[in-house]
Amino acid sequence: MGRVLRQLKHGWNLFASENPELSNSGGYAMNSPRMNHTSSRLYSDKSFVTSIYNRLAVDYASVEFIHAKLDDNDVAASIVRDGLHECLTLDANIDQSAHALKIDFAMTLFETGEACIVPVNTDLDPLNNASYGIRDLRVATVAGRTPRKLLLNVYDDREVDGNGKPINGGVVKTRWVPKELCVYQENPFYSIMNEPNGLLQRLITKLNLLDDIDQAAASGKLDMILQLPYNVRIESRQEQAEKRREALRKQLMNDELGIGYIDISEKVIQLNRPVENKLLEQIEYLGKKVMDELGLTPEIMNGTADRNAINNYMDRTIEPIANGTRLEYTRKFLTKTARTQRHSIEIYTDPLKIIPIDELAEVADKLIRNAVVTANELRPKIGYRPSDQPGADKLNNPNMPDKDQAASTGEVPAPEPLRALPAPEEVTGA
């Protein structure tokens, strides 16, 4: 009860704080249909490029972040189940789960080249206390910066603002946040994805040009030339031609079926055939280069990639991004004292997910037989509940029975047969 009262008394909110260092520089209502209702990120429609962002973001979200305590060998020995671990694994905020927060963070990172994760509610004021508990986290975009602070766009999910006025639908507000209080990460593939003249930005430009050409082709224009039976180089003839064109246009526009007539000496020349250019070829080239630079293959995009391709993709593309986030979590949200006590944020990926079912039995046999994992550690990975049989939680080779296994089955091992003593060597005389 004392802890609850202390949290209510000392609880801190990023938007309710009256500290001048976090002064609000404005806010805007979330009335744009392209805006995510749970964050401050603006969605953008880039067709093929969006599918690349989404594939990378979903694979990034498959990496698990845990607050762990390490052993003497810097290996995670136990899980620290505090507020930070809850935000990393289950409940990030009132709108997003931990998985949705990771996808939102990754999409923001890929689209803008940088992204932040900021604690909105804590049990103590982080500006005055180094040891504070985190209650929820939000993704924020960077609007400005100084050497020590970042101006962040953060979604405010409170029902009322600082003056007690109701807020309809939530508001994105800007706040100055010290750099040591927020996770800030730059896209490690910035030169490829976000550089103004990078491969991906050039691909986006080419796709926009192709969309403009398609829109012009589907605009309903006739794209035809009316050949008149007289020369139109003279100004008076040009005026007469303009009147004739206007008359034909009105015929087609005013008729329900779009039918008009021309003189027997006039001729219509149709021009709606596509003009060949190298735009589509350039788009295909840039798309392939972007996929190669990011380690994406057509098999990874459609889900038919083999184990080696997926491992290479995870090691070269996803792990550098996830490891950068892990280091930021560790150095920003864990104090130096906690790190001295071997607290750390660790990442984990399940390698068994990418093993085909026909190979999983062989892999499981090798892992259990060589005492790498226990049977109960492996059973949930293949959809079975842990077993209550004795020995299912022990690291041993099931093909080599021991005394515990014999006792659990009630079988008494047969005594070893007596072996005959070797005959004494004959002593020969000199």
Query: Given a cut of 60, is residue 128 above it in pLDDT?
Result: yes
**Angle at the Cα of 155 from the Cα atoms of 152 and 160, rounded to 5 degrees:** 125
Q: How many residues does the chain have?
A: 430
What is the distance between the alpha carbons of residues 173 and 145, in angstroms, rounded to a whole number? 15
What is the distance between the alpha carbons of residues 405 and 386, in angstroms, rounded to a whole number? 18
Q: How confident is the model at residue 2 (pLDDT cuts 50, 70, 90)?
A: very low
* Interval 51-67 mean pLDDT: 94
What is the distance between the alpha carbons of residues 324 and 63, in angstroms, rounded to a whole number? 12
What is the distance between the alpha carbons of residues 54 and 46, in angstroms, rounded to a whole number? 11
Query: Given a cut of 90, is residue 319 above it in pLDDT?
Result: yes
Distances, alpha carbon 130 to alpha carbons 123, 135, 180, in Å: 12, 15, 10
Determine the pLDDT at residue 336.
92
Half-sphere exposure of 245 (CA within 13 A, CB side): 14
For the stretch 15-25, pLDDT in tens is 776 665 666 55
Per the CB < 8 A criterion, the answer to whether 13 and 161 are in contact is no
Out of 116-130, 342-356, 395-409, least confident range = 395-409
What is the distance between the alpha carbons of residues 12 and 15, in angstroms, rounded to a whole number? 9
Determine the pLDDT at residue 64.
94
For residue 376, the one-letter residue type is: N
Query: Given a cut of 60, is residue 9 above it in pLDDT?
Result: no
Query: Given a cut of 70, is residue 376 above it in pLDDT?
Result: yes
Query: Given a cut of 60, is residue 116 above it in pLDDT?
Result: yes
Out of 216-220, 336-340, 357-361, least confident range = 216-220
What is the distance between the alpha carbons of residues 305 and 297, in angstroms, rounded to a whole number? 8
Query: Given a cut of 90, is residue 138 above it in pLDDT?
Result: yes
For the chain, what is the mean pLDDT? 81
Q: How confident is the model at residue 28 (pLDDT cuts 50, 70, 90)?
A: very low
Determine the pLDDT at residue 96.
93
For the stretch 238-261, pLDDT in tens is 888 888 888 888 888 887 777 888
Ramachandran angles phi, psi of 122, nearest 5°: -135, 165
Distances, alpha carbon 103 to alpha carbons 40, 109, 322, in Å: 14, 10, 12
Query: Given a cut of 60, is residue 233 above it in pLDDT?
Result: yes
pTM of the entire structure?
0.75
Ramachandran angles phi, psi of 184, nearest 5°: -120, 130
* Interval 14-36 mean pLDDT: 55
Determine the pLDDT at residue 7.
46
Determine the pLDDT at residue 29.
45
Query: Given a cut of 50, is residue 277 above it in pLDDT?
Result: yes
Query: Given a cut of 90, is residue 332 above it in pLDDT?
Result: yes
Per the CB < 8 A criterion, the answer to whether 323 and 314 are in contact is no
Determine the pLDDT at residue 197.
86
Largest CA distance in the chain: 146
For the stretch 65-115, pLDDT in tens is 999 999 888 888 899 999 999 999 999 999 999 999 999 999 999 999 999
Q: Sort strands 114-122 and 183-186 into parallel, antiparallel or unpaired.
A: antiparallel
Out of 212-226, 269-283, 353-367, 408-422, least confident range = 408-422
Query: Given a cut of 80, is residue 61 above it in pLDDT?
Result: yes
For the stretch 176-208, pLDDT in tens is 999 999 999 999 999 999 998 889 889 888 888
Ramachandran angles phi, psi of 276, nearest 5°: -70, 135
Determine the pLDDT at residue 23.
60
Structure tokens at 336: 């130096």
Q: Higher-confidence residue: 50 or 419?
A: 50
Query: What is the share, in percent, of the chain residues with pLDDT greater than 70?
Result: 78
* Interval 293-321 mean pLDDT: 90
What is the distance between the alpha carbons of residues 1 and 8, in angstroms, rounded to a whole number? 11
Q: How confident is the model at residue 329 (pLDDT cuts 50, 70, 90)?
A: very high
Q: What is the three-state SS of the chain?
A: CHHHHHHHHHCEECCCCCCHHHCEEEEEECCCCCECCCCCCECCCCCHHHHHHHHHHHHHHCCEEEEEEECCCCCEEEECCCHHHHHHHCECCCCCEHHHHHHHHHHHHHHHCEEEEEEEEECCCCCCCCCCCEEEEEEEEEEEECCCEEEEEEEECCCECCCCCECCCCEEEEEEEEHHHCEEEECCCHHHHCCCCCHHHHHHHHHHHHHHHHHHHCCCCCCEEEECCCCCCCHHHHHHHHHHHHHHHHHHHHCCCCCCCCCCCCEEEECCCCCCCCHHHHHHHHHHHHHHHCCCCHHHHHCCCCHHHHHHHHHHHHHHHHHHHHHHHHHHHCCHHHHHCCEEEEEECCHHHHCCHHHHHHHHHHHHHCCCCCHHHHHHHHCCCCCCCCCCCCCCCCCCCCHHHHHHHCCCCCCCCCCCCCCCCCCCCC
Query: Given a cut of 50, is residue 131 above it in pLDDT?
Result: yes
What is the distance between the alpha carbons of residues 321 and 114, in angstroms, rounded to a whole number? 12
